[in-house]
Amino acid sequence: MIFHITTRAEWEAALRAGEYTAPSLETEGFIHLSQRHQVAGVANAVYRGVPDLVLLSVDPERLAAPLRYEQGVHADERFPHLYGPLELSAVVDVLRFPEGPDGFAFD
């Protein structure tokens, strides 16, 4: 599995639209995803203080758009990037992802 953090409102809009397109798809050309061990670090770096987050569990085998593992800009590791919309059928679970008192955690 790979993962994507978004708000509940953005996910519900995707359900109505029939696919998920993050703002980064338009501005950067891809949707940012994370491997399991990267989720908490990304959340703590980017999403502190953002309410009502969900974590999308994505099956990479179900993706139609190209998925590439590329070097992160602010990290010395490779992250999965999806070069196209995320099909709803590739999302196998949607988890509440609240921030705890010490930040985000995901094991």
Please name each of the domains of the chain with its CATH number: 2-96 (3.20.170.20)
Rounded to whole angstroms, the Cα distance separating 99 from 49 reads 8
pLDDT band at 76 (very low <50, low <70, confident <90, very high): confident
Statement: residue 75 has pLDDT above 80: no
pTM of the model: 0.94
Statement: residue 107 has pLDDT above 90: no
List Cα–Cα distances, 51 to 7, 37, 40, 79, 87, in angstroms.
8, 22, 15, 24, 24
Statement: residue 74 has pLDDT above 80: no
Q: Are 80 and 69 in contact (CB under 8 A)?
A: yes
Q: Are 4 and 55 in contact (CB under 8 A)?
A: yes
